[in-house]
Each structure stands twice: as C-alpha cells, then as structure tokens.
Amino acid sequence: MWYFARAPCVNAAKNSKLLGLWNRPAAFMSTLLINQPQYTWLKDLGLREENEGVYNGSWGGQGEVITTYCPANNEPIARVRQASVADYEETIKKAREAWKVWADVSLEMGKILVEGVGEVQEYVDICDYAVGLSRMIGGPILPSERPGHALIEQWNPVGLVGIITAFNFPVAVYGWNNAIAMITGNVCLWKGAPTTSLVSVAVTKIIAKVLEDNKLPGAICSLTCGGADIGTAMAKDERVNLLSFTGSTQVGKQVAFMVQERFGRSLLELGGNNAIIAFEDADLSLVVPSALFAAVGTAGQRCTTARRLFLHENIHDDVVNRLKKAYAQIRVGNPWDSNVLYGPLHTKQSVSMFLGAVEEAKKEGGTVVYGGKVMDRPGNYVEPTIVTGLAHDASIAHTETFAPILYVFKFKTEEEVFAWNNEVKQGLSSSIFTKDLGRIFRWLGPKGSDCGIVNVNIPTSGAEIGGAFGGEKHTGGGRESGSDAWKQYMRRSTCTINYSKDLPLAQGIKFQ
C-alpha cells in the first residue's frame, strides 16, 4: 500500500474550505505538530506547514486544502493542497509524455513504529526484487505446427498505470505497484488516501529526487492528492491503461464498473474477512501469538487482519483463556514509542464503527469476553476485543469491520470448518494450525480454502514480497508484488514469424 520510518501518526484528514493555503493565521500554524520540536524530523523529509499535493515534474496544486490529524491525539500535523480537475488533466498529459521516454529505458496512518519501519523496508525490498525481475521478464518461444515458423510471446508495457491506495498501507501498497509497474516500462499516477496525504507527498519527494538525479522526467512518477473526484476521473479516463485500486469492496465495485464501462483494465485489492482455524492437534504455542498478531496488529486495520478464529471444541476454552491473558499484556501507547505494540484507530469514525460492531455482536448473541470499550485516553484508542458465542453465519461475523474485533467459534469437524471459512463473500487470507499432513494438503487443494492466501501454521497477515498478493471473490481477484504479478502491468502479443520461403497455412488449409 508510505509510512514514515518514524511515523508519528498516520494522517487523519479534515476538509477545509476556510482560508486560502497561504493565508493561515499564525496562531493556527503554531499549533501544528510539524512546528513542535519533537517533530522537526518531518521537515527533514521535505514537509512544510503547507504542502503542495500535485507532482508531475514540478510541484503545485489548485484544489481543496485538507488538514491532516494524528490519530494518537487528534492534533493537526500539517496541511496539503490537493489536486483540482485541471491539475489532474495537466498531470495526465505530462505522464503520457514521460512514458515515451521511460518505455524505452527498460525491457499518516497511526501504526506503531516497528510496523511503520517495516512498511518502509517493504518498499525497499520490492525495489530490490523488481531490479532483479527486470532482467527476467519475457515470453516463451513456442513450437509451430508449420515448418519454418516460430511462435513468440511478446510482452510490452500497458502505458500509464493509475494507483489508488488506502490509508492503512500508504507506503507498501504504492511500492508494490510502483516498482513492478516501472520495471515493466510503465509510468505511474498515484492518488493516495486523503487522510495520508503527507505520506504521499513525502514519498514522492524522495522519488522525485531520484528521477532528477538520473535526468529522467519527473512525471514518470506523478502524484495527484485528492478525493473522490480525482479517483472517479482516473477510473473513467481511457488514458489510464491500468487502474490499481486498494480499498473497500463497496468502492471497489464502483471503480470496477467505471473502468469496465470503457473496457479498461483494473487490478483490485479489496476487503478481507480472514479466518484462522486451529485443530485439536495444533501447537498452541504457535496458535496464540499468531492469533494475537493477526487480530491486534495495526490495531486490526489490515486487509489481512484475522477477524474470525475457529477453534476445535476440545481446545476452545483453553485457547480463549490464553488469548485473554495475552491481550492483557499488550503494550498500548504512542505509536512512535518503540516499546508499544498497539496504537490508535485511524479516525474518530473508525471508533464509531468499532462501537457499532460490538453492540451488533451482542444483539446477535455474542459475549464480549475481553475489551469492547473506548480507552480513556486522548486519541482514537479502543480496547482490542474478543467475542465468543456467535453462530458461524452471524451477520456481523460476515461483515468486515476495520477494527481489532476477533470473533471466536467452536467447530467439530474438518468438513464443516472448511465450509465456514469459505462461506463469507471475501476471499483474501486464511490459515490453519495442524500437524496432520493429509489435512494440510486437503486445505491447499480444491476442496480447501478458496482464498488467495492459504497459510499453514502462520498468521493470516504478514505477507512476503516474493509471492503474489491478492484474493478471490469480493476481494477483487487482483495480484500484486511478486511471482508473476508483473503480467498484470503488461500486454501480451502472440507473434508468428515465418523464416522459410514457403507460406503454409495453419490447420493445413489450402487456399489456392
């Protein structure tokens, strides 16, 4: 999906239609976190009190101004001027021009510090991976049925790749798309989440410097900060050859319809309702920390977060008790404290959704055995929550809530729990814990998990860059990052070459 390597907070934004960007009262500016001594490193990243949110070789922006806020205390960080429709048009034109050069070159979130550093490392890793991959991309030479002929698959860049990222991974998801798109010969236009606009600006400043140092057009990696108007323009624009969208299933459907209406190509990474299954023979020393990390990591705001935990009836009570003890030891605090494991939700709206989901779970027969409340401290902090007693097909359990709520269920047989894993509309990530080799391969097989990520004895979250990342069903079907995900960013041509002096036709047809 960039987090600052020392992320103070991922930005929660609030639209502003008050004063012009360059006419803010001095009193307001003095309250910005960027002006406080402990956050001077933000300026080291090239950020300012007011930031231009459009980059196409030069910085600008004539759109609406937003203020970004810290989820840990809801204090303002800085301001960003977003793109107008006119800015978008100009950026598209410059990106298309930059592609003519680049195609020939190659054939504010709130998460804890350790996760923020890890996300930046993920961008570094995918760049390293992509450099090696750039020397290996190619199509096969196939045998022809005709004498003196050869069949060749030729792969070429699609052209301009639009990238729309979500708030929860504003660095890594862009990195997955940007690095692979670039080494396959494409140029990129990025629209990050409005609530992480500072991240988008800071990352683009780094990229712009690299392009400048190598005497390449800055528009190769363009940026248009903005809201739904810019996203809609990208989805409907035939000049955007591929649109990669990461976000909710609801919005993803709208994006897919708009892109398909113009017969464009889309790469969708949407919702997940991920499950961990622990059988009677599972190693509980692996199950408990895995469920803890998968359910509580990033405060439950990953698309791969574990939201359902299926426990064999013989180990259910034991695992729940162990989890409650583990939850009680979670270190909560400021996200930039290196000892903290659990930070705030992204926005106040996220807190409201958390409370609504907890109440709905109670109405449907669930029991909150841990957490369920808002913490009494500044910022958007809620208690990590465990709910038991729901039916496996409870409506709330089939709804993805971007919050640290884990629904725990009992099961008896392998057949029923595999079916329960697959009964939700999403199909992103899944995991089982067992020592039974036959069960493992049944889980990986056609009657096992229907997800794009199918794990064994590890959590549902924490994917490596070497594998293709993505899911099935309402998760969208897209694949990013490693393996052969590069094919999503290219177009394929089948080429038949006649190197003989004859002209035989396929299928032995005679046309004389």
By residue range, what is the domain housing residue 166? Answer: 12-269
The arithmetic mean of pLDDT across residues 219-234, rounded, is 97
**pTM above the 0.75 mark?**
yes
Together in a domain, 326 and 450: yes
Together in a domain, 287 and 257: no
pLDDT in tens, 127-167: 999 999 999 998 999 999 999 999 999 999 999 999 999 99
The arithmetic mean of pLDDT across residues 322-326, rounded, is 99
The arithmetic mean of pLDDT across residues 52-71, rounded, is 96
Q: Please report the DSSP string for 141-205 in residue order.
A: EEE-SSTTEEEEEEEEE-SEEEEE--SSSTTHHHHHHHHHHHHTT-EEEEE--GGGHHHHHHHHH
**pLDDT value for 12:** 38
The CATH number of the domain holding residue 314 is: 3.40.309.10
Q: What single-letter DSSP state applies at residue 92? A: H
Together in a domain, 258 and 302: no
Whether residue 17 has pLDDT greater than 50? no
Tell me, yes or no, if 52 is annotated catalytic. no
Q: Report if residue 485 sits inside a domain.
A: no
Band (pLDDT 50/70/90 cuts) for residue 27 is low
**pLDDT value for 444:** 99
The arithmetic mean of pLDDT across residues 428-441, rounded, is 99
The chain-wide mean pLDDT, for the chain, equals 93
Q: Report if residue 125 sits inside a domain.
A: yes
**pLDDT value for 102:** 86
**pLDDT value for 110:** 77
**pLDDT value for 108:** 64
Residue ending a domain, among 238, 269, 300, is 269
- Poorest-pLDDT segment among 1-5, 19-23, 358-362: 1-5
Band (pLDDT 50/70/90 cuts) for residue 11 is very low
- List 269, 383, 400, 480, catalytic entry: 269
Band (pLDDT 50/70/90 cuts) for residue 336 is confident
**pLDDT value for 29:** 60
Whether residue 44 has pLDDT greater than 70? yes
Together in a domain, 256 and 321: no
**pLDDT value for 105:** 66
Per the CB < 8 A criterion, the answer to whether 246 and 1 are in contact is yes
**pLDDT value for 16:** 35
Together in a domain, 260 and 338: no
The arithmetic mean of pLDDT across residues 249-272, rounded, is 97
Beta bridge partners of 246: 269
Together in a domain, 402 and 426: yes
Q: Report if residue 472 sits inside a domain.
A: no
Q: Report if residue 42 sits inside a domain.
A: yes
Alpha helices (runs of H) in 337-466, residue ranges in sequence order: 348-363, 414-422, 437-444
Band (pLDDT 50/70/90 cuts) for residue 112 is confident
Cα dist from 41 to 44, 67, 243, 255, 270, whole Å? 5, 19, 33, 37, 33
Between 196 and 104, where is the model more confident? 196
Instruction: Return the closest-CA partner of residue 203 out of 177, 234, 238.
Output: 177
**pLDDT value for 31:** 87
Together in a domain, 89 and 121: yes
Residue ending a domain, among 269, 302, 317, is 269
Whether residue 26 has pLDDT greater than 70? no
